[in-house]
Structure 1
Amino acid sequence: MWKFTLRRILIMIPQLFVLSVLIFLLAKAMPGDALTGAMQANPNVSPQVLAEQREKLGLNDPAWQQYGRWIGNLVQGDLGKSYVHKIGVADLIGSRLANTFYLGVAILVLTYLISIPLGILSGRYQNSLLDKTITGYTYLSFATPLFIFALLILFVFGFQLGWFPTSGSVDVGIDPGSGSYYANKFYHLILPAIAGALVSTTATIQYLRNEVIDTRLKDFVKTARSKGVPESKVYSKHILRNSLLPIAAFLGYDLTGVLAGNLFIESIFGYPGLGQLFLQSITQRDYSVVTILVMLSGLLALIGTLLSDIILSWVDPRIRIG
C-alpha cells in the first residue's frame, strides 16, 4: 500500500507539470492579458502607462520566459497578485476558502444523509411503490438543470416566503467569533446547501440501488440466508458493505471537491466562495486568479483519485493494491 501511494504521488509530479503548461497556454490564448481587468476597472489609464506596466511585469517577454517565471514563483509559494482586487492571490483565495469549505461539507453531508437511505430502500424493495417513487425523484433530479433548480429554490424560499437570506454568507454588523455570528453563517448556509445536495443525490442513489439489487443475488448472500441468518443482518453485514464499494470509489473525489467550490450554487445564491470568485475572475479577466484556481482544481482532482483508490482498498479487504 505504501509503495503504491508513493508511486502515485511521484506520478502526480509530471501530471501537474503537464497541467500547468496547458493552463498557462490556455490563459495566454484568452483575449487580453493580466492588465486587461485592471484597465476595465480604471478606463482612464493612458496607453503609455499600460505599456510601461506590461514591460515592467514582463508581459512582453516570450511565452516560455513568462511560464518559467510563473511556475518558479508557484513552486516557491508565490501565487501572484490579483490585478483587480489589488491583493495577493493567496490572501484572496484564503478569504474565500472557509466559506467554500463550509458549503462543500454541508452539501456532502446532506447528500449522503439523503442518498444512502434512499438507495438502500429503493434496492431492497425493488419494483415497489417506494422504489418507483425514489426512482422518479432521481429521474426528476437528473433532468433538472442545477441553475434552474437553484433559482427556483431561491425564488420560493428566499424571495417569496422570506424564510432564508438571498445572498451573502453572514449579515453585516455581527461581531466575528460570537455565537450569533456562527449561527448567522449557518442560517445563510442552509438554502444553498439544500439546493446543492438535492441535485447531487441522483448518482449515489442509482449506484447504491443497482449494487443492492446485484449483491442480493450473489452466492454468498444466498449462503447466508440458507444458514438462517436474519434478513436484517443479511442486509447490514453482507449486502450493504459490498454495495457501498461504488460510493467508496467516489468518496475521494467528494472529499477533495469540498475545497473545489461550486460555481453555480455560489453565484446564484451570492455566496462568497471560490466558485463565485472563479466566475468573477473570468468576467473581469483577472488571469492570475483564474490560473491558480484552475491549477488548484486540477491538483484536487489528482488527490481525489489517489484517495479514492486508498479508500476503496480499505473498505474491501479483498482489494489489495501493491
Structure 2
Amino acid sequence: MLKFIIRRSLIAIPQLFLLSVLIFLLAQAMPGDALSGKFINSPNLDPAYQSELRDKLGLNDPWHEQYVRWIGNLVQGELGMSYVHNVKVETMLESRIANTFWLGLATLILTYLIAVPLGVIAGRLPDTNMDKFIVTYSYVSFSIPIFVFALIMLYIFGFTLDWFPTGGSVDVRTEPGSWDWYVSKLHHLLLPALSSALLATTSTIQYLRNEIIDTKLKDFVKTARAKGTPERKVYTRHIFRNSLLPVAAFLGYDIVYILSGSIFIEQIFSYPGLGQLFVDSIQQRDFAVVNVLVMLFGVLSILGTLLSDIILSIVDPRIRID
C-alpha cells in the first residue's frame, strides 16, 4: 500500500511541473502583463515610467528567466504581487479561501446526503415508478447548465420567497465570532451549496444505481441468500458495500468538480470566494492573481485524481500493482 501511494505521488511531480510551464506560457501569450491592469486604472501614467517599472520588475526579461523566478517564489510560498490592488496575492487569497472551502464542504456533504439514498432506492427498486422518477431527475440535473439553475434558485428562493440572502457570505451587522455571525454564515451558505449539490448528484446516483443492480446478480450474493442470510444483511454487508467502490473512486473528482463549479456559483450568488476572485481578476487583467488561481485549480485536479486512486486502492486492494 505504501509503495502504491509513493509511486502515485511521484507521478504527480512531473505533472505539476508540466502544468506550471503550460500555465506560465499561456500567461505569456496573453496580451499584456502583470502591470496591465494597474496601467489601465491609471491611464495618465508617463509611458517612460511604465517602461522603467517593467524593467525594474523583470517583465521584459526572457520568458525562461521569468518562469524560473516565478516558480522559485511559488516553492518558497511567495505568490507574487497584485499590482491592481497593491497587495500580496496570498493576502487576497486568505480572505477568500475559507469561504470557498466551506462552500465546497457543504456542497459535498449535501451531494452525498441526496445522491446516496436516491441511488440506493433506485438500485433496490429498478423499473418502478420511484426508480423512473429518480432516473428522470438525474438526467434533468445533468442537462441543466449550472449557471441557469443557480439563477432560477436565486430568483425563487432569494428574490421571490425571500428565504435566503441574495449575496455576500455573512451579514455585516453581526459581530465576528458571535453566535449570530455563525448562523448568518450558514444562512448565506445554504442556497449556493444546495444549488450546486442538486446538480452534482447525477454521477453518484447513476453509478450507485447501476452497481447495485449488477451486484445483486453476482454469485456471492446468491450464495449469501442461499445460506439464509436476512435480506437486510445481504444488502448492507454484500451489495451496498461493494456498490460503493465507484462512488469512492470518484470522490476526488467530485471535490474538483465542486471547487471548479464554485466559479459560477460564487459569481451568481455574489459569494466572496476564489471563484468570484478569479472572474474579477480576469476582468481587471490582474494576471498575477489569475496565474496563481489557475495553478491552484490545476493542483487540486491532480490531487483529486491522486486521492481517488488512493481511496480506490484502499477499498479494493486488487487494483494495486506492487
TM-score, normalized by length of structure 2?
0.96
Cα distance between partner residues in 2 of 1:98 and 1:180:
18
Residue 257 of structure 1, CA deviation? 5.8
Alpha-carbon contact 1:100-1:261 (below 8 Å) kept: no
Verify: 1:188 aligned to 2:215, yes or no: no
Q: Match of 2:268?
A: 268
Query: What residue in structure 1 maps to residue 63 of structure 2?
Result: 63
Asked if structure 2 preserves the Cα contact closer than 8 Å seen for 1:261 and 1:273, the reply is no
Letter in structure 2 aligned against 1:203: S
**In structure 1, distance between residues paired with 2:27 and 2:305:** 25
Equivalent pairs, count: 322
Residues 152-188 of structure 1: CA deviation (Å, up to 9, x unaligned): 0001111111111101001113211111111101010
Q: Which moved more, 1:312-321 or 1:134-143?
A: 312-321
Specify the alignment match of 1:156 in structure 2. 156
SS at match of 1:77: coil
| 1:89 maps to 2:89 | yes
- For 1:37 and 1:92, locate their aligned partners in 2 and report how far apart those are by CA, in whole Å: 16
Aligned CA-pair RMSD:
1.5
Give 1:34's aligned residue: 34
Matched, 1:178 2:178: yes
Partner of 1:311: 311
Correspondences of 1:34-183 after superposition (within 5 Å): 34-183=34-183
Equivalent residue, structure 2, for 1:14: 14
Do 1:96 and 1:273's aligned partners in 2 also have CA atoms closer than 8 Å? Answer: yes
The 8 Å contact of residues 104 and 261 in structure 1, kept in 2 or not, is answered as no
Letter in 2 for 1:10: L
Q: In the alignment, residue 31 of structure 1 is paired with which amino acid? A: P
The alpha-carbon deviation at position 284 of structure 1 amounts to 1.2
Contact kept, 8 Å, 2:196 with 2:261, in 1: the verdict is no
- Residue matched to 1:252: 252
Q: 1:180, 1:204 → 2: CA distance?
A: 35
1:251: Cα distance to partner? 1.3
Deviation of 1:105 after TM superposition, in Å, equals 0.4
How far apart in 1 are the matches of 2:254 and 2:122? 23
- Between 29-38 and 256-265, report the one with greater CA deviation: 256-265
Partner letter of residue 45 of structure 2?
V
Is this contact kept in 1: 2:4–2:320, CA < 8 A? Answer: no
Q: Equivalents in 2 of 1:97, 1:258: separation in Å? A: 14
CA distance in 2, matches of 1:161, 1:44: 48
1:290 corresponding residue in structure 2: 290
Q: Which runs of 5+ in 2 are unaligned?
A: none
The whole-number CA distance in structure 1 between the counterparts of 2:43 and 2:244 is: 56
Higher mean C-alpha displacement, 67-76 vs 240-249: 67-76
Where 2:201 maps in the other structure, the secondary structure is: helix
Counterpart position of 1:201: 201
SS in 1 for 2:61: coil
Check 1:8–1:318 CA distance in 2 against 1; reply closer, same or farther (3 A cut).
Answer: closer
1-structure distance, mates of 2:270, 2:45: 31
Distance 1:165 1:43 in 2: 38
Preserved contact between residue 36 and residue 285 of structure 2 (Cα < 8 Å): yes
Q: d(CA) in 1 for partners of 2:94 and 2:200?
A: 26
Give me the whole-angstrom Cα distance separating, in 2, the residues matched to 1:220 and 1:108.
32
1:277 is the counterpart of 2:280: no
Alpha-carbon deviation of 1:12? 1.8
Shift in Å at residue 139 of structure 1?
A: 1.2
Is the 8 Å Cα contact of residues 196 and 258 (structure 2) preserved in structure 1? Answer: no
**Amino acid across the alignment from 2:10:** L
DSSP 3-state at the match of 1:262 = helix
Structure 1 spans left out of the alignment, 5+ residues: none
Fraction of identical pairs, as percent:
64
